[in-house]
Amino acid sequence: MPAACDSVLEDIEDIVSAEDLRPLARRFVRGNVLPRVRKRSSQRGAQAEDEPPGDSIIPGVQKIWIRTWGCSHNNSDGEYMAGQLAAYGYRITDNSAEADLWLLNSCTVKNPAEDHFRNSIRKAQEGNKKVVVAGCVPQAQPRQEYLKGLSIIGVQQIDRVVEVVEETIKGHSVRLLGQKKDNGKRLGGARLDLPKIRKNPLIEIISINTGCLNACTYCKTKHARGDLASYPIEELVDRAKQSFQEGVCEIWLTSEDTGAYGRDIGTDLPTLLWRLVQVIPEGAMLRLGMTNPPYILEHLEEMAKILHHPRVYAFLHIPVQSASDSVLMDMKREYCVADFKQVVDFLKEKVPGITIATDIICGFPGETDEDFQETVKLVEQYRFPSLFINQFYPRPGTPAAKMPQVPASVKKQRTKDLSQLFHSYNPYDHKVGERQRVLVTEESFDSNYYVAHNPFYEQVLVPKDPLLMGKMVEVNIYEAGKHFMKGHPVSDARVHTASITRPLAKGEVSGLTEEFRLAPRKGTKWKADPAAQSPALRSWVPWQLPWQRGGGGALKVLCASLALLAVLLVLYHGGVRAEL
């Protein structure tokens, strides 16, 4: 049988016969060819250009629904993840039913929050939605049965959300749970200059540190967030400046314990705050987050001065949890009730009118009736205007879960009794008739009012006038409720615009350079030149080819081969002889 080929090919172009046109001749022939226009069918033309086919798995074009539970730190993480996904081309939607993927950002503080999280996963799976989970629950317990097979974004890996979502849409399961480190030292988390979508364009939430220095026996968050890791002051100040340049008029500082800020990097909270107040524009305000008593005690004098500053709310959240020293010892809270009272009494004296918010846990293991009555007396003494009452829930893996438990009926009754005490007094009745300066930043839950806050971060409802949003105005208080006051704007008073520039539109991505704002994307690629990107964006934008991302070896070889083949085809059809 004759061979399929009688001679050995020494060159790929030996395949061309003598009768075939040579490349140079082929170039002239092309000039006489008239392209035939292919008519599009009306059905195909009707489809929107930016809509992928129904069975498309092209990353960067799907709709994503994001749900966040928990603290303001978690909310900030959710905003960063939304911003990166939107910047990459994904569409963030408020409609969970139309979403292709659900991103569920969890909270592990209490059982009910985790129950809601678990139920949402089940609902998504029943609706055939892709699911990515984030937050403290999967970080602390990634091997739970109901998380099996799901993609996970760790609390310090939110800057890689696009990668995780992209792989999940392709049908893969990805888990990123590592810690951010620099020369072996743990960092505060993902960088602060990433794109984000603020839930409220007027409010910027800045996490100043992650983790804490405590080891509370009931706390599951410690398992997820770990030990204290603070962001450098310069990075925090830069983030605040950027926020104000984007129209923000209120900044919230958040963390698991703001009072411990800087102890791991050789600085402290007052030093940070004094730097921040220097960059806050007139009319804008700063709200300080939760701080535990031990770490604020040594800074009381400086903190009182800062809380007196006209651009800082005279407000502080100091959790006491219990007024029984024996219970506090079992909780390993590292302070006694006298320490808490010292902090509150000092600040009330030095900062008249200051709002002190606190937390209380009812029914902690070993809490006796006498212990609980001590807590009742503390509330009666201080009549906290803002009080977060929590029934104790044993969290798996915590020391408190192994302690002898208070009966559920007793915990429930104590929670009810303390709640009744809290609702027995109205903290704002004496303020009716006052004239107050307030900053308007939000819409009320019932959509009937705008929500403002006075210098003590007390909630004031004002008429729903669009001209008031984002403004510092004066109001006359005419009504007071348990959690709010109502005020009429003073007609002859000056209205001050708190934002130094127009705020971003709701849903608009923060942190993008002008080049990116002017370069909308179709599909999955940025249209802007990567060389023109800011260093912050260039470090995270996940548009690179697989070998640029550090993909697998086999994938690198395949991509390189395809690229080489493409080059050869171009050279061949262009009339250039390419020797192999």
Backbone conformation region of residue 433, classed left if phi is above 0, alpha if psi is from -120 to 50, else beta? left
Residues of the chain with CATH 2.40.50.140: 430-505
Amino acid of residue 483: H
pLDDT at 200: 96
| Mean pLDDT, the chain cut into blocks of 10 residues (580 residues total) | 47 47 51 57 52 63 94 94 94 96 94 93 96 94 93 94 94 90 79 94 96 92 91 96 96 95 96 97 94 92 96 97 98 96 97 97 98 98 97 94 97 98 97 97 95 98 95 96 96 83 92 51 34 35 39 55 64 45
pLDDT at 494: 81
Whole-Å CA distances, 2 to 5, 6, 7, 21, 184: 8, 8, 12, 28, 68
Residues of the chain with CATH 3.40.50.12160: 60-181
Whole-Å CA distances, 554 to 199, 252, 547: 42, 47, 10
- Tell me the C-alpha distance between 362 and 406, whole Å: 10
Per the CB < 8 A criterion, the answer to whether 81 and 88 are in contact is: no
CATH match for 430-505 among 2.60.40.10, 3.40.50.880, 3.40.640.10, 2.40.50.140: 2.40.50.140
Specify the CATH superfamily of domain 60-181.
Answer: Methylthiotransferase, N-terminal domain (3.40.50.12160)
pLDDT at 9: 41
Name, in order, each residue with C-beta under 8 angstroms of 557's C-beta and a sequence gap of 6 or more: none
Question: For residue range 41-72, what is the model confidence (pLDDT) as tens digits?
Answer: 555 545 555 555 555 577 788 999 999 999 99
- Tell me the C-alpha distance between 232 and 237, whole Å: 9
Question: For residue range 146-177, what is the model confidence (pLDDT) as tens digits?
Answer: 999 999 999 999 999 999 999 999 999 999 98
Kindly state the tokens that stand for 402: 């192994």
Per the CB < 8 A criterion, the answer to whether 411 and 360 are in contact is: no
Render 5-43 in DSSP notation, one character per residue: -SS--SSGGGGS-TTSPPHHHHHHHHTTPPPPPPPPPHH
End-to-end CA distance of the chain: 31
Per the CB < 8 A criterion, the answer to whether 217 and 532 are in contact is: no
Angle of CA points 145, 148, 153, to nearest 5°: 115
Name, in order, each residue with C-beta under 8 angstroms of 23's C-beta and a sequence gap of 6 or more: 572, 573, 574, 575, 576, 577
Per the CB < 8 A criterion, the answer to whether 225 and 210 are in contact is: yes
Q: Which of 461, 457, 468 is nearest to 491 (CA)?
A: 468
pLDDT at 476: 97
pLDDT at 22: 54
- Tell me the C-alpha distance between 4 and 147, whole Å: 57
Per the CB < 8 A criterion, the answer to whether 513 and 533 are in contact is: yes
Angle of CA points 75, 78, 80, to nearest 5°: 115
Q: Which of 135, 190, 196, 130 is nearest to 160 (CA)?
A: 190
Q: What is the largest CA-CA distance in the chain?
A: 109
